[in-house]
Amino acid sequence: MTHKKVSPARLQKSELFSFFPGDCRTSKMGTALIYDEEMTRYKLLWLDPDCELERPERLTVSYEALVQSGLAARCISVPVRKATDDDILLIHSEEYLEAVKKTPYMTLEDLREFTLKYGYVYFHPNSYHCALLAAGAALQLVDAVMSGRVRNGMALVRPPGHHSMRSAANGFCVFNNVAIAAKYAQQKYGAQRVLIVDWDIHHGQGVQYAFEDDPSVLYFSWHRYEHQKFWPELRESDYDSVGEGKGAGFNINVPWNKVGMRNGDYLAVFCHVLLPVAYQFCPDLVLVCAGFDSAIGDPEGEMCATPDVFAHLTHLLMNLAEGKLCMVLEGGYNLTSLGQSVCVTVQSLLGDPAPRPANLQGPCQSTLESVQCVRAAHRKYWSCLKHAAEAPPSDVSTKRIKIEEKLQSGEAAEGKDHVTWPEPEKRVAPPVRTAVVIPEDVDCPDGCERFHLPNNARSRSTKEDFEGDAVTKLSSLTALVGEMEKNEIRNGLALVSDVSVALETVIKHATALKQRVLVVCVGGNGVMSHLPEDGTTLTVDIHKGALEMPRCKHYIPVSLKNGCGETSGLAQATFGLLLPLAYEYDPALVLLARFPGTGGPSEGAWQQLVSLLGGLARGHMLVLVQEDEKALVEPTASSLSGSPAPSLGQLPAPVADDVEALERLRLHLQADWTLLRTSVQESGSEDN
């Protein structure tokens, strides 16, 4: 196979700075890629088995993978710059900066000695220069995103940052790139709330310390912990470090107390911890400490989540902060896994359809324990977690862990070097992103194409007893679903005269094609009949009403007291029920039906729903809307064609009755749907 090397288009300095902040006239905002070879020009100069992992190849391999796959050429290349003293001093002390400034002039012996003052880090005469570029790269990314020149982006940097502290280098890190970027965004752009998601496998204690008492920066980190046996072995990395003073509740630690965590563990933590809190927080900017040592094959993390999981983690963050999402590389030491993970992440930033989350398993017992603990620790700070269960009794958990400890580490050490996993699947964006079936008098929304029934299908006779027009429309819908299945069209929107009838027709057609269909009904009266209950479809019907228990595993009524218009309740249902169910079911097609009436969601909440569900079924989704709701065409089409949904504002507490009903429903369903679990099984001793 031959690959043509294409360099990304260089963005001129003048272009980068010659626009107004927030200017969005360029309708398709792109993805920034920041990389400079200069950051490969430092390395370990002596023998140190603990540091040899952090090599220049980490960066070249990541960038080469992006170039080879054609992704780099699709990004907007933004140049790095050197961070200024003032930038560094946003987080670090003057004494520390002055000390690091001297390192380029040190002898090898001096460098070694200087290094010994800190933990697990090395210095090279070019380290200081690269550290300035790494921090500067993060700031360039923030500038590009906050000014509206690009929508989102990724900075490939060395050295990493999240372990470095006010006055100390640590864990391969010199300056805290992401912490500096967060302060910079607040200072320069007035960002009021910044969310930092640290999915690196190590705890970014440096970031935690920088914002511990600061409620304007929400820091979320998951990390290999093993009950404090894993580096950096800090007491304050546990779930009960929630922040200090005014910052209480704004530091979220999810400890992994075992190795081998899988995609289902990561997605469970996103659904049941991060996403509800992040949406309630409502950030103006999302920064990711994008370490890929949390992926399979990494010698540090020893986890089993595949690179594909980052497609989903990224997708799930892309509708916060109006899409302002900045990824900054941290760790990642298996070069194969790293390159793949970087590509998968950038591909999601670019808007390509996410891969199917195939054979997803529910979270393991150790994860459930952590999830239960962190939700319990945070329930007094976040109304979305108010209903969370108590923490499990600690003696139970530690006992079991102790017994399994030996076995776990033995297994891991042996399997470490020959872990294999399949290459991430190619993600092909269909030629047509969004097709619409709407009356001729309704304008075709930007970025969409009208779907016309192929000529041969038009004359086909139908037994059904409708006017010719309606028949044509229904045949259009089934033809559209057929095009989606052939991957000719990604998603679609149809205005129909009767949502129920249209839904029924499409379901019949799709299930005949042996497709697994996720049906999401919104705003109806909860009496959907004629739906198959045999597993060929999973229906989640969110409507106004009082709690009713599902009759079967595949038809799930979700009743909200005041209907979907209550955004907090809808958010609760979406993250706690709908998304976990959807991911576990793994549909080939999503049908989203919006029923007419007053029980519907707000426009913004509707767009969020459309966007979030776009992460399933390789993006294949058909949205059905009642004919007269023409005002929904634009916002729905906008979300289907990849524009980030608007922010929902800082969400108020959901209605207590809804919270209780949703919780009872979740408890009822968790036997069948393991991704719904948020606490350890009281009786069960099985551990997957």
Residues classed as catalytic: 163
Residue 382 binds which of ligand Q9C, Zn ion, none (CB < 5-8 A, kind-dependent): none
Residues 198 and 204: beta-carbon distance below 8 Å: yes
By the rule CB under 6 A, 238 interacts with ligand Q9C: no
Residue 265 binds which of ligand Q9C, Zn ion, none (CB < 5-8 A, kind-dependent): none
Identify which range of 33-41, 168-176, 347-355, 632-640 contacts ligand Q9C by CB under 6 A.
168-176
Identify which range of 166-174, 244-252, 570-578, 660-668 contacts ligand Q9C by CB under 6 A.
166-174
Distance CA 283, CA 266 (A): 21
Residue 222 binds which of ligand Q9C, Zn ion, none (CB < 5-8 A, kind-dependent): none
Considering only residues 42, 96, 231, 595, which one is a binding residue for ligand Q9C as defined by CB under 6 A? 231
Q: How far is the CB of 24 from ligand Q9C (least distance, A)?
A: 34
- Residues numbered 252-291 forming contacts with ligand Q9C, rule: CB under 6 A: 291
Select 159 or 550, whichever has its Cβ closest to Zn ion: 159
Distance CA 665, CA 577 (A): 9
Q: How far is the CB of 122 from ligand Q9C (least distance, A)?
A: 11
By the rule CB under 6 A, 206 interacts with ligand Q9C: no
By the rule CB under 6 A, 153 interacts with ligand Q9C: no
Binding mask 182-201 for ligand Q9C (x = CB under 6 A): ------------------x-
Q: How far is the CB of 52 from ligand Q9C (least distance, A)?
A: 11
Select 413 or 552, whichever has its Cβ closest to ligand Q9C: 413
Q: How far is the CB of 254 from Zn ion (least distance, A)?
A: 15
Select 143 or 200, whichever has its Cβ closest to Zn ion: 200
Distance CA 630, CA 645 (A): 19
Considering only residues 293, 302, 541, 584, which one is a binding residue for Zn ion as defined by CB under 5 A? 293
Binding mask 32-61 for ligand Q9C (x = CB under 6 A): ------------------x-----------
HEC secondary structure over 280-295: HHCCCEEEEEECCCCC
CA atoms within 13 A on the CB side of 147: 16
User: In terms of Cα–Cα distance, which of 108, 191, 198 is closest to 160?
Assistant: 198
Considering only residues 202, 203, 433, 544, which one is a binding residue for ligand Q9C as defined by CB under 6 A? 202
Distance CA 622, CA 591 (A): 5
Q: Which of helix, strand or coil describes residue 273?
A: helix
Select 50 or 672, whichever has its Cβ closest to ligand Q9C: 50
Q: How far is the CB of 92 from ligand Q9C (least distance, A)?
A: 17
Residues 141 and 326: beta-carbon distance below 8 Å: yes
Residues 633 and 625: beta-carbon distance below 8 Å: yes
The type of residue at 378 is: H
By the rule CB under 6 A, 619 interacts with ligand Q9C: no
By the rule CB under 5 A, 200 interacts with Zn ion: yes
By the rule CB under 5 A, 644 interacts with Zn ion: no
Hey, what's the torsion of the CAs at 655, 660, 663, 668, to 10 degrees?
-140
Q: How far is the CB of 230 from ligand Q9C (least distance, A)?
A: 9
Closest residue by beta carbon to ligand Q9C: 331
3-state percent breakdown (helix, strand, coil) of the chain, nearest 5: 40, 15, 45
Distance CA 605, CA 523 (A): 12
The type of residue at 571 is: A
Distance CA 368, CA 382 (A): 19
Distance CA 583, CA 612 (A): 11
Select 308 or 330, whichever has its Cβ closest to Zn ion: 330
Residues contacting residue 549 through CB under 8 Å, at least 6 positions apart: 665, 668
Q: Residue 587 belongs to what H/E stretch?
A: none
Please measure the distance between the N-terminal and C-terminal CA atoms of the chain and give it in whole angstroms.
40
Name the token pair of 550.
């599902």
Identify which range of 249-257, 292-300, 451-459, 510-518 contacts Zn ion by CB under 5 A.
292-300
Locus of tokens 């440096």: 206
Considering only residues 42, 114, 123, 172, which one is a binding residue for ligand Q9C as defined by CB under 6 A? 172
- Cα-based distances in Å from 286 to 92, 141, 148, 283, 585: 22, 12, 14, 7, 29
- Residues numbered 319-348 forming contacts with ligand Q9C, rule: CB under 6 A: 330-331
Residues at the interface with ligand Q9C (CB under 6 A): 50, 120, 160, 163, 171-173, 200, 202, 231, 291, 293, 300, 330-331
